Structures are given as C-alpha cells and as structure tokens.
C-alpha cells in the first residue's frame, strides 16, 4: 500500500530493502532479543537506565548507584565525557572525563550494577570500553559515521540516541552503520526532537512518542525513551515516563540526582531518589498491563 | 540591542496574568471539575469519546453507538459537518450534514449515550446544539474567533481542538475567548501537530503528549488527547492511546468503525470494535495505576 | 518522476490532477494574468501593498496612503477587522472595525490608491466589499472554508494568506475552494510559518521563500510575500524584502507606519516612510534584473 | 512558578555575553574582514564557491574548475570524504577519498582557483590541509566538538555549515569552539533546515534566509548560503540563489556539474555550466544593488 520511489523525509517501502536491510524487520514478529551484562533486552522487557547527567564525584556516583539499583534500575547512567553547546563551563562544572570513568567503575563494583556512558571520540573508546557495559552515542554524534564505525567494531553493545533534527529514516541509516560491522546488540534511544513549540520557554525539545510504534513497525531493534532530556523540566518527567512505558518502549532512561537543583549540569530536569522510587512502582504496574517487565 | 519584553512562542510568566487570566490556574491544585450529560470531567476522570470520523448512515451510527457504549465509551463522536482540505468528494463520500445530525440524534436516543460533533459555521449552531451535548471546534477553526464567541454564547460545553500549527500559548488564548463569555465547561483536545518528521509517508501529524503535563501546569481546564487523527495509522493507535492515559490525559478521543478500510473518510486510522473493546480493558487498568477513571 | 499514491505532507503528481485541478498549471508556462483596479498581476509584475497593521485614524491612514503611493506602492493595506491571539486589548488598541473601513474609503479617494483589507466574518463581506479592491483572508482563516466560499462568491479579487502551519498542498486546496466558485482573481500570500527556530526570542515565524519557486512550479496563481509579519523585526525587513523580489515573488506586502514604535499593533515590525522610500528604489532595480516590474 | 533564566531556543541578551563572547558583535558595525587565498571576505563581498557534490575523476574536476572559474567563481568546491545517510553506495558511487583530494589538488593548480572540501575525521586533517584553502565542517558534524577543535588548531580557514536541526544559538556556540583556538577566519554557511513542510516530496530541507539578517545582527562572522543542498531541486536553485545575494549573504555556495542528471551524488540539485554562467551575471547585478561584490 505504501510506495515512494522518490526520496522523502519519511520511510517508504523501498527504503526498507535498500537503505537499511540489516535494521529492517524480516517479518511482522521479528524483534531482536539479547542479553547485556545479564540484563534481557527485547520485546517484553523494559530495562531502566538511571543516574545523574554528569558523574560529579566518586562519593556521589556510588550513592546514586546504590539508590537507583535499590529502586529497580537495571543500569547506572552517567556522563564523564560530555558535549556541551558552548565551550565555557561554569565555576561549578567541569567535565570529569578520565576521572569520571574511574568513579563510574568504582560505583559499578560497589553497587554491582552495569553502567552506560557516552563516547565522544575514537581515542577514548578503549578506556571507556573497559568500564562501560554499553557505549552511548549522543544525539549530536548520531551521524558521526567514523565514530559509529569505531564503536561498532569493539562489538560492545551500543545505545544510539536519535539526532534531535533527524528522522526515523536517518536514524535507521545510522543504525545500519553499526549493524554492518557485525555488532548485533544495538539499542535506539528517543530523547526529544526540535519542534515549533515546546510549551515553556525553558524547554528545548519535544518528546516524540509516536516514533516508538513507528520504529517497532520498521525495525527489530529495541527502542528506549528518555523523557528527562526531552522535556528538560522535572515536573513533567514522571507523567511522561509513564507514557513512555505505556506506549511500549523497550527501555527507559531517566535522570536521577539526590539534589537536583544542585546538579552540576541541567539542574531543571533530574528527579530525586524518592520521586524515582515512587515512579518505579507505577511503571512496573503499567508494564504489567502492557506485558513488559520494567526494571529489575 | 535586544528587547525581550515582546511575546515569544512559548509561555512566560507575564503571559499568565495578562493574556489568559481566566484559563490560567490560580494555584498549583486548581483544576476545573464539571458534569456534562451526567459525565464527570476533571482531575481523576478520563471520559472516552468514540465513534466514526463521519456519520455515514442511521443504521451504521446506531450500531457504532451501541458497540462503543458497551465497551465503556462515555460519548459518541461523529462528524456531520466536516472541513476537508480539498473541495472534491469521492463518489463514496458526501458530508451527511443536517441528515447526519438527525442520525446522531437517533443513535443518541437508541443507545442512550451523549454525543459530540463539530460546528463549522455560526448558522448551524442552533441545529447542532439541539442534539450535541458538546460542541466541537476543529483544528482548522481554533483561531476562528467569531465562531468561538458564537459557540461560547450558547453556554453549551465546548471541546476546543488544538490548531495543528498552534502553540499552547495560542491555544489558551483561544480558550480565553470561550471563557470570557461566561462559559465554564471548556475542554482542550490535543490532536497532533505539524513537525519535521512523522515517520511514514502516510502520516501527517505528530502526537504531542508533552503538551499534557504542560497544559496541566498552566491551565485548570481538562485536556484530552486524540491519537487517531494525530498518527493517522491504525497499527499505532492502541499503543499511543495507552500513552495518552498514562501521561495523565483528562479524556480520550478515538476513531472506531466496524469496518475501518471501508470507512467513508480516513480509512487508515480507525480501529474496529474488537480492538476498541480490548483496548478499553487495558486503558482502565492503566487508569487505575494513574488514579484516573477511564470511560464509564 | 514524482509518484505518491499515499497521502503525504508535500505535493505529489497525483495531487495535481485530483486535489486542485483548477489551481494547477496546465503546462510549464501557464501563469495567470489579470487586472485589479487597473493594476497588472501575473508574471513580470510585482505590485506592492503597503500600509499600517491597523487603520488607526482617518488622519493617519490618509497620510500613509499619500506617502506609500508617492514611493511607488500599488495598493494601500490596512486592517480594520483583525483577529488577535488573545481577547484583551491594550488601552491603546481597539479594532477600528466599521469606522476603519470608512477611513480606508476616505484614504482611498484622497490618495487615489486601491485598497486591500481583511475579512473575518461573512456578515461583514458586503460592507467591506464596497470599499476593498481585494478581500484578504488571513492566516488563521485559510481553512475556514465557509468564509472562503462566501468571499469567492462576491467575485471580488481575493488574497489568500498561507496558514502558518499549512503546507503548499493544503494552501492550494484552499485556493481551489475559491476557484471552484468561478472567481479567477486569486492571489496567494506567504507570510511566515511555524518552525523550530526563528533566531530571536521576539520573532514568531520563519519566512519561507522556498515556497515561491515551489508554488510557481505547481500553480498558475500569483504568489506574493509578506516579510513584515514573517520576521516581526524591523531591522530584518529590508533585507528580506529584497530577497522576496529576487526570488521571483509576484507581489510584495510591507507594513509601513510613520512612527513604528508607536503603532497600535505590532510596533516591532513596521518600517517608516523613509525606509520604505529607499527600499522601493532598490527593489525596483532588483526587479529589473529579475525581469519583474516592482510597484507602480 | 516559572523560571526564565534558563536557556531557550532562540537568542537572548544574556547569551551574547556569556555563551559566545568571541562570536558576538562588539557594536552595530562590527563585521569581520579577512583574506583567504587572496579572496576578500566580509561585508561588501560575496565570494562564490562552485563545483560538484563529489570529486568524481581528475578529468571531470579539472573541467569543472576551469568552467566555474571562467564564470566568476572564487573557489572550487568538491567532496572527497562525504558523510552519507546510509552505508550502502550505488554501483556508480564510491567516495573518492585520498584520490579525490589528489584530483582536487591537480584541478587547483590547473585552473588556478583555491579549493574548499569537507573534513570528517581528525586523522585526515593533515592530508586535506595541504590541499584545501578552507576546511569545511558539514551539517552532521556541526556539534562534533573534538573535530571542531582539531580543525581550528590548524589555523586554516574554516567554513562551518549549520546543523539542519540547530538554532542560530547552537551554531554560534559551535563557532565559539573554533574562535577560542585563536582561529579568526571562520565562515558560517546556512544550508537548509528541517521544517514541517518542504513543498515537494523530493525536497528534504527548507532554506532559511531569515537567518542571514539574524546572524548579521548577532555575530561579526561572514555568513554564506547554500541553496543547492537546501532545496535539493535544480529548477528552484537559480531563483533561490538570487534571493541569497539579495538578502545580504556574505558568500554563496552552489553545486555545478556539466551533466547534473548523471552526477554521482544528488543528481537532482546541481545546475549545469550554462545555467551557472547566466546566473552569475544576474547575481553580480543584484550584488551591485545590494552593494556587495559577487564572485571574482
């Protein structure tokens, strides 16, 4: 019923075979299923990634690791290498870089929880790969193809965030660059897109939940959602997180910090331990209705 | 060099007091609550509006009315007067207009279910008001201020669909035109917006669920969501409908038709009776988690 | 080369024949050509519409009429009935309505310049038609089909502004509603669209000049451009106006006011007499390069 | 309840001082002026970059170099390393990579015209820097900060294309990463953005000319425009190119190929020698009106 031989912004039938044959589903019920650090990914599972925007100190990341794990998080998230829109840091903020990776490693051992963190440059892949269970490609690097290829070649699992101006078609093209290296454990992550309106002047992106069933129509790869970066506004996060699970996300990423207003980066968007704990209870119940297991 | 006192696209503090004082919340817990045809609207309630895109015949609309009611719908929806993007109708399709209103009236008595239908012109307000329990203002008329004022003056409840290119700020401005006439039973309805990407070439709009917590931050008016018109693609509707409830919508509108591929209008988007019935069960369970009563 | 049997957001070959047969070009060189109040419209001509956002007083509109005419404007523009996003007026601003139409009439006789003004409601069409040489349909009413039909039936020339969230496809659909009434003097007007970014927080829309060659590929109707409403920022208007002529616009609309910061409406966007006078000289020269006659 | 001190999507006064102090203008008349390979950049100059999407062969690039130079181009453009949305190449197309750089070098000597070409990876910077007079950062790499820093450190002139989902604010943030390395010869290039509508199903982006006066309000850096990549449709390129000059662009990039339908990449968008030659004549005349010198 769908045809479009001409190039377009949205997906057409011919794309599926010629543009991303590895990312495309072979049939209606084709969904990838795999383990990462003992955690099951695929249809029927919704692992939860939780943690701070930035790994600020060893003490703090250990504390967060224990707390999110106890509330049911499957992975600890936290940035050590971070792309920022402007080159100037505040007095409070400095990228923790190599030190941050070391602290993540300690938090991982301490709390016995696998970790995910972002890779921005090929040269840090070996260092990060020793600690991270999943390599994260950020929104600004979704179409940095040399970086994609270098990450894929490690055969480490990869989470590919959607470029905030990119279509699902572009995104599956980027995933194809990963799959073509023989790497099978690839996860997509929706994190908010540019749109004409975001409702409040402090919001920057719009969470696109329509992309979840859309991705599940076209690709077998798991798709997870990140409402924290999308809405950039703590009071909206819990409601959106519930919608993320209900729409059928195959995973959820949430920013959690013990004292959000004093977080080093993006203090408007993180939720605190108690909010996360209460939210996880509701998410698990919604997951039961939707036949998906949320968190651990 | 820059003057920032001027209006922007998203909402700022000064807007709340000067642009839509009646639509704005007076305090954090301020949410409107009212009855329409015995159905409760407001926080904690999620009435369901279900029915066909167009009222095609007396027989069909009666059949749909009974079926959606039995599955838990609170209102029967159906268009008699319909704005279409192009002036040419197919051989199959003709607006049912006055006849459609008559058929809606018969279905309403037959199934004992209240109805909602669209008003496009001031001159038909009296006719439609005799039958409809809620007057619907469509997306293309959100900023047709004379029509808004004329509808508001009837003191009938009004559902105001969001213009597909309009911001929440524009939308609350339009609601203010209704409220200023003393009409208190005003419902907002998100139905999909224009966006750079909609994922498949047959989709036209993007469902914006971020607007639900955003609206609930700024206005006391109930906000309902319509995933059918937004995604325009049946296979995505159920997942999106679950997300609509989970995000905290104060109502849900769904297109239901016994034989969707043969519906007179928009045959790609309606779900059938069985899909609706099964969906309602899940929606009620998700509603329980989110402390909202879905449907009857 | 173009195919799209499925509905899409952009134009496909099948649309041209089935959706807007009257608006579509019959061949590559098909462009409408007609006179309005002695002014030539069509390929090779770029009439200029200039004047204030609102008709504020008889004295002021007469003064503006004389001045813009002397600088080469073809038509006087000015709003008497105006849709505003919020129902509250400032102390300074009140719609001039019937009085504004009367003042426009006086300015028209005084300066011997034809006029264009907006129609918002069917009931005012007779009054406005007595004075206006062109009826303007505003951006918020582009898809108010009953209003379109009522205006078209007068057989007065009509300028149809593009809805700020609407595609060219939607726009040609609306034009078709006008053409189907036998009205041949239809002009399209691009006035800025919603987009993710508009560059400064006081700007609301993005001027879309790509739509000019696009419209000229698909329709024979003249397309004019309005940079003032689009960019909403005086310092950008002259540069954009030059681009409007260079891109091949078949007309230009500009907001001109003797004292822009004290204009009753939208004080940020109008240019003053001197700026308009100087701009017109450059526009005429650019028009010569582009083989189009700008203004009178 | 609302905090507006946080970052928004468009530019505010506080941004200018804290986010991009080096890219910001010091006063109204502050515009950078510099030479690259003997070509003057800055206010009053509009150098033209012309050439194929990809450097296909030595013979072809030499032929193009001679032809565009004779028609007035200031620089030869051509891609050797190219990011493509999908990993699969056609039988016709293979990136020319190191060979392409060598061919560019030969064309440069042969036609005595400086060249610009894209850098995708840090490791190829030395190779490319030997040949290129300007390093081009592509739209997909605008926020690849390590690449930006590595390019900036060479002190070679850099052209920074706008990310297709990025705001002017994001863009100036990226430029700041270049300027902070002491590199002063930085050029911005608008090349089309994502938008809800692009008018025909084969078009992918929307040319944003409003960003030209916007950039010139906020930054002293030259801003050039690329209508070819933006509209992706040959029949629209000439009209848009004229608008690019008329709006005040400080440079123009155009795709030119002797046989566009048989170009290895993007065959829909290049113009041929004759079209380029005729266009240059008109552009020079429009430039005279706008007080800018177009091409050589």
CA distances from A36 to A74, A106, A244, B79 (A): 10, 19, 21, 50
In a domain, D48, yes or no: yes
CA distances from C49 to B106, C68, C95, D252, D283 (A): 53, 9, 21, 30, 26
Predicted local confidence at residue D3, as pLDDT: 28
Please compute, for residue B24, the number of CA atoms within 13 A of its CA located in the half-sphere on the CB side: 16
Closest CA to B155 of B178, B175, B124, B174: B178
Closest CA to A24 of A225, A250, A215, A247: A215
Predicted local confidence at residue A266, as pLDDT: 80
Chains that touch A (3 or more CB pairs under 8 A): B, C, D
Beta bridge partners of D285: none
In a domain, C34, yes or no: no
Predicted local confidence at residue B92, as pLDDT: 63
Tokens of B253: 């509108």
Contact A204 D7 (CB under 8 A): yes
Q: What is the pLDDT of residues C81-120, one digit of tens each?
A: 989 899 987 656 678 999 999 999 999 999 999 999 999 9
- Taken in order A248, A249, A252, A254, the sign of the CA dihedral is negative
pLDDT at D4 over 60: no
Predicted local confidence at residue C71, as pLDDT: 98
Residue C202 in contact with partner chain B when CB distance is under 8 A: yes
Q: What is the C-alpha separation between D213 and D222, in angstroms, rounded?
A: 11
Beta bridge partners of C223: C188
Predicted local confidence at residue A289, as pLDDT: 98
In a domain, B15, yes or no: no
pLDDT at B67 over 70: yes
Tokens of C164: 């700020």
Chains that touch B (3 or more CB pairs under 8 A): A, C, D
Q: What is the pLDDT of residues A45-94, one digit of tens each?
A: 999 999 999 999 999 999 999 999 999 999 999 999 989 899 987 656 67
Question: pLDDT exceeding 70 applies to what percent of chain A?
Answer: 96
A270 three-class SS: coil
Beta bridge partners of A294: A46
Q: Among all chains, which residue has been given the structure tokens 């003393």?
A: B182
Contact between residue A256 and residue A274 where contact means Cβ atoms under 8 Å apart: no
Predicted local confidence at residue C91, as pLDDT: 58
Q: What is the pLDDT of residues A173-198, one digit of tens each?
A: 999 999 999 999 999 999 999 999 99
Please give the angle made by the CA atoms of B146, B169 and B145, to the nearest 5 degrees: 0
Contact between residue D255 and residue D52 where contact means Cβ atoms under 8 Å apart: yes
Predicted local confidence at residue A90, as pLDDT: 65
Contact C83 B2 (CB under 8 A): no
Q: What is the pLDDT of residues B127-139, one digit of tens each?
A: 999 999 999 999 9
Contact between residue A178 and residue A160 where contact means Cβ atoms under 8 Å apart: yes
User: Taking residues D186-213, what's their average pLDDT?
Assistant: 94
Categorize the per-residue pLDDT at D7 as very low, low, confident or very high, splitting at 50, 70 and 90. very low
Q: What is the C-alpha separation between A183 and C88, in angstroms, rounded?
A: 60
**CA of B1: which chain C residue's CA is closest?**
C235
Contact between residue B157 and residue B36 where contact means Cβ atoms under 8 Å apart: yes
Contact B9 C143 (CB under 8 A): no
Spatial CB neighbours of C234, under 8 Å, sequence gap ≥ 6: C260, C268, C269, C270, C271
Burial class (CB in 10 A: 0-12, 13-18, 19+), A211: buried
In a domain, C20, yes or no: no
User: In 10 A of CB D171, how many CB atoms?
Assistant: 29
Percentage helix, strand, coil, to 5, in chain C? 40, 20, 45
Contact C6 A3 (CB under 8 A): yes
In a domain, D20, yes or no: no
Nearest to C166 among B143, B165, B196 (CB): B165
Mode of pairing for the β-strands spanning C33-36 and C39-42: antiparallel
In a domain, C16, yes or no: no
Residue D253: φ, ψ to 5°: -115, 130
Q: What is the C-alpha separation between B206 and B191, in angstroms, rounded?
A: 8
Tokens of D219: 């930054």
In a domain, D16, yes or no: no
In a domain, D58, yes or no: yes
User: Which residues constitute the domain of residue A60?
Assistant: 40-83+94-294
Predicted local confidence at residue C2, as pLDDT: 28
Q: What is the pLDDT of residues A252-292, one digit of tens each?
A: 999 999 999 988 888 889 999 999 999 999 999 999 999 99
User: Taking residues B6-11, what's their average pLDDT?
Assistant: 58
Q: What is the DSSP string of D38-95?
A: TEEEETTEE-EEEE-SB---HHHHHHHHHHHHHTT-SEEE-BSS---SSSPPPSS---
Chains that touch D (3 or more CB pairs under 8 A): A, B, C
pLDDT at B2 over 70: no
Q: What is the C-alpha separation between A193 and A139, in angstroms, rounded?
A: 10
CATH of the domain at C66: 3.20.20.70
**CA of A139: which chain D residue's CA is closest?**
D143
Residue C105 in contact with partner chain B when CB distance is under 8 A: no
Predicted local confidence at residue C92, as pLDDT: 63
pLDDT at C4 over 80: no
Closest CA to D78 of D287, D253, D280, D227: D253
Spatial CB neighbours of A208, under 8 Å, sequence gap ≥ 6: A190, A192, A193, A230, B195, B206
Contact between residue B103 and residue B61 where contact means Cβ atoms under 8 Å apart: yes
Number of domains making up chain B = 1
Contact B2 D11 (CB under 8 A): yes
Contact A210 B206 (CB under 8 A): yes
Q: What is the C-alpha separation between A133 and A221, in angstroms, rounded?
A: 18
pLDDT at C6 over 70: no
Contact D145 A83 (CB under 8 A): yes
Predicted local confidence at residue A10, as pLDDT: 81
Q: What is the C-alpha separation between B66 and A199, in angstroms, rounded?
A: 39
Instruction: Name the pTM for this structure.
Output: 0.96
Question: pLDDT exceeding 70 applies to what percent of chain C?
Answer: 96
Predicted local confidence at residue A11, as pLDDT: 82
Predicted local confidence at residue C94, as pLDDT: 75
Q: Which residues of A touch C166 (CB under 8 A)?
A: none
Q: What is the pLDDT of residues D9-66, one digit of tens each?
A: 678 777 777 899 999 999 999 999 999 999 999 999 999 999 999 999 999 999 999 9
Closest CA to A255 of A100, A188, A238: A238
Cα D222 from chain centre: 11
Contact between residue B171 and residue A197 where contact means Cβ atoms under 8 Å apart: no
Q: What is the C-alpha separation between A100 and A106, in angstroms, rounded?
A: 10
Give chain A's mean pLDDT.
93
Predicted local confidence at residue C130, as pLDDT: 97
Which residue did the predictor score with more confidence, A293 or B92?
A: A293
Contact B201 C4 (CB under 8 A): yes
Q: What is the C-alpha separation between C140 and C166, in angstroms, rounded?
A: 10
Beta bridge partners of C39: C36
Q: What is the pLDDT of residues B234-279, one digit of tens each?
A: 999 999 999 999 999 999 999 999 999 988 888 889 999 999 999 9
Q: What is the C-alpha separation between D220 and D195, in angstroms, rounded?
A: 27
Residue C3 in contact with partner chain A when CB distance is under 8 A: yes
Predicted local confidence at residue D104, as pLDDT: 98
Question: pLDDT exceeding 90 applies to what percent of chain A?
Answer: 84
pLDDT at A15 over 90: no
Q: How far is C238 from chain B (nearest CA, A)?
A: 18
Categorize the per-residue pLDDT at C21 as very low, low, confident or very high, splitting at 50, 70 and 90. very high
Nearest to A6 among C3, C165, C194 (CB): C3
């Amino acid at each position: 019923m769908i045809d479009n031989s001409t190039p377009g912004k949205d997906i057409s039938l011919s794309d599926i075979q010629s543009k991303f044959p590895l990312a495309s589903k072979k049939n209606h019920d084709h969904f990838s299923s795999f383990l990462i650090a003992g955690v099951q990914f695929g249809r029927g599972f919704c692992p939860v990634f939780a943690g701070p925007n930035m790994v600020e100190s060893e003490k703090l990341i250990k504390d967060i690791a224990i707390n999110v794990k106890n509330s049911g998080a499957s992975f600890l998230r936290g940035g050590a290498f971070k792309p920022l829109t402007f080159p100037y840091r505040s007095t409070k903020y400095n990228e923790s870089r190599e030190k941050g990776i070391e602290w993540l490693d300690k938090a991982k051992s301490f709390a016995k929880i696998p970790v995910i963190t972002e890779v921005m440059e090929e040269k840090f892949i070996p260092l990060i790969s020793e600690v991270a269970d999943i390599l994260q490609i950020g929104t600004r690097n979704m179409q940095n193809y040399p970086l994609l290829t270098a990450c894929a070649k490690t055969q480490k699992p990869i989470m590919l965030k959607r470029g905030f101006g990119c279509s699902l078609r572009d995104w599956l093209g980027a995933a194809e660059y990963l799959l073509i290296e023989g790497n099978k454990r690839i996860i997509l992550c929706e994190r908010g897109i540019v749109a004409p309106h975001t409702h409040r002047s402090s919001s920057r992106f719009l969470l696109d939940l329509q992309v979840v069933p859309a991705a599940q129509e076209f690709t077998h790869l798991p798709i997870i959602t990140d409402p924290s970066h999308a809405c950039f506004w703590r009071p909206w996060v819990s409601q959106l997180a519930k919608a993320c699970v209900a729409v059928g996300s195959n995973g959820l990423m949430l920013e959690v910090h013990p004292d959000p207003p004093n977080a080093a980066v993006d203090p408007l968007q993180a939720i605190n331990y108690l909010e996360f704990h209460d939210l996880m209870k509701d998410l698990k119940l919604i997951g039961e209705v939707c036949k998906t297991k949320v968190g651990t």
